[in-house]
Every structure is written in structure tokens, then in C-alpha cells.
Amino acid sequence: MLARSGARLVEVGTTNRTRASDYESAVGPETALLLRVHQSNFRVVGFTEQPTVRELAGVARRGGVPLVDDLGSGALADVEGEPTPRSSLAAGADLVCFSGDKLLGGPQAGIVVGRADLVERLRRHPLARALRADKLSLAALEATLALALERPEEVPVLRMLREPAEAVRARAERLADAVGGAVEATVARVGGGALPLAELPSFACAVEEGLAAALRAHEPPVVALVRDGRTLLDCRTLTDAEAAEAAAAVLSCRSR
């Protein structure tokens, strides 16, 4: 995308160690902006170093260019130490980009917030019209943002991340009782391009392996994990109502 725009991307630092001085030494008369991209879907561990947004904001001010912070995951609430757009802007970023789905939990979309004059320049650019979200996506995004502000516990991704393991186990037990399955402790992972190292204690209802294909073909489909000769229905990703639907699907597939 950067190449197609006519921009020239200048990489600074190394894979595992980058300092603010690396950015500063790369700033020249042709520099249009500084770009920081958060590692939302991977991590570099071990001997690492990276500058803070506040340090980069200082470099950008001295160079007379904007600082753009691409957060990727789009966490509006506190989630596993993920940076939020609010914290990035408070640290001095001029523009912050993040996703409408992933940790925000809305439709697939790209969101840019920050300095009004820069946002307005983006809005007026011809590409903004070509790449704009459609009305259905905007309606879904508006509804998600309203929930995130007023009732964050109702945003599905936030509910799944924050639900206590005891509540997940109780749901798994009810599902197992309904279908004659067994409760098994599992580890849930976030996926979807966010929180790559997060592992959540969870519980699943285990049923026979042979049901996996039939459940996928069921209407609505039930997609489960197959492990060690069993089909696992992880109950962290199910609401109570969905658990009842999953039970009905298991019983229906068994009767075929």
C-alpha cells in the first residue's frame, strides 16, 4: 500500500532493538511522517528494545512531521495491556489507526482518529471515497461503539475475554449433562490477529469424534476442535443460549 501511494518506506533499527535515535537519524527534508506499527498479532521476545510513543512524538515534533501510530487490534477497553487509541493520542501521536473488528468486536473496517486537520485531509482525499466503508458496516460499527461505551460486557469479544473460568465450567457442565458428554479443561486462545501470547483457562464439552463433520454440516454449523479422538465444544465461545443450540445440534446429528 505504501509503495502504491508513491511513498518510500524507510525502515529503522533492527528486528529486536529499535531506539528513538534510530528514527531521529532517519528524518530528512523529504520525510512526510513517522510511522509506528504495534505488534498486534506477533511478539518479539528476549533481548528487545523499542521506543515509547511519547519518545517518538518528541522526535516527530523536532522534525516537524506527524506521528502515525498503527495499533492494529483496536482495544478501546483495557485488555491484556494492549495500547488503546486514547493512551496513544495522550502520549502525543497525531493520528492513530486501528481495526473495527478484532478486539473492538465490530465489523471489519479501518478507523483513523486524531488531529482534526489531518483527519479532514484524509477525508477529502479521493481514495477515501474509493475505500470508504458501506452503510451497513457503518451502522454495525456505530452499534458496536455505543455498546463499548455504555455496556461493554455485551460486546461478544470482551465478554469472552473477561468471563470467569468458573462460569465457563458451569456452562460446559450443563452442555455435557444435556448431551451425555464429558467436561474437559482446555486453554482458549484469542486469535483473529490479536493477543498472540494470551492463554485463557477454559472448559469444553467433549463428545465423540465422529460428530465433528456432521456438526459442521449442521444448520447452523457448529465448528469444534477435534483432539485425542474427541470433539471438543469450547464453552468460552458460547453464550448460554448458544450452548442450548449446540446441545440440540449434537442430539440431532446423533439421531441421523
To which residue does cell 440431532 refer?
A: 252
pLDDT tens profile 9-32:
999 999 899 999 999 999 999 999
Give the end of a domain, one of 156, 172, 193.
156
Contact criterion met (CB below 8 Å) for 166 and 148: no
CATH of the domain at 128: 3.40.640.10
Residue 41 pLDDT class (50, 70, 90 cuts): confident
Q: 123 and 171, same structural domain?
A: no
Q: 132 and 10, same structural domain?
A: yes
Of 99, 143, 93, 98, the closest CA to residue 118 belongs to 93
Check residue 75 and give its pLDDT: 87
Q: 79 and 9, same structural domain?
A: yes
Residue 100 pLDDT class (50, 70, 90 cuts): very high
Check residue 80 and give its pLDDT: 78
pLDDT tens profile 109-166:
999 999 999 999 999 999 888 888 999 999 999 999 999 889 988 888 889 999 999 9
Residue 1 has pLDDT above 80, yes or no: no
Check residue 228 and give its pLDDT: 93
Strand, helix or coil at 93?
Answer: coil
Give the end of a domain, one of 156, 173, 202.
156
Residue 95 has pLDDT above 90, yes or no: yes
Strand, helix or coil at 204?
Answer: strand
Check residue 43 and give its pLDDT: 83
Of 10, 71, 67, 63, the closest CA to residue 34 belongs to 67
Average pLDDT, the chain: 93
Using CA atoms, how far apart are residues 70 and 33, in angstroms rounded to an integer? 13
Q: 48 and 23, same structural domain?
A: yes
Q: Name the least confident of 55-64, 74-83, 93-102, 147-156.
A: 74-83
Residue 191 has pLDDT above 80, yes or no: no
Residue 209 has pLDDT above 90, yes or no: yes
Structural domain that includes position 51: 2-156
Residue 91 pLDDT class (50, 70, 90 cuts): very high
Give the end of a domain, one of 127, 156, 185.
156
Check residue 88 and give its pLDDT: 96
Using CA atoms, how far apart are residues 210 and 235, in angstroms rounded to an integer? 19
Region 81-98: what's the mean pLDDT?
A: 94
CATH of the domain at 242: 3.90.1150.180
Q: 121 and 6, same structural domain?
A: yes
Q: 67 and 21, same structural domain?
A: yes
What residues does 186 pair with on adjacent strands?
202
The continuous run of DSSP H or E covering 2 comes out as: helix 2-5
Check residue 2 and give its pLDDT: 79
Q: 151 and 168, same structural domain?
A: no
Q: 186 and 130, same structural domain?
A: no
Region 223-238: what's the mean pLDDT?
A: 95
Residue 55 pLDDT class (50, 70, 90 cuts): very high
Q: 148 and 124, same structural domain?
A: yes
The continuous run of DSSP H or E covering 4 comes out as: helix 2-5
Cell of 2: 505504501
pLDDT tens profile 65-86:
999 999 988 888 888 778 999 9
Count of structural domains within the chain: 2
Residue 60 pLDDT class (50, 70, 90 cuts): very high
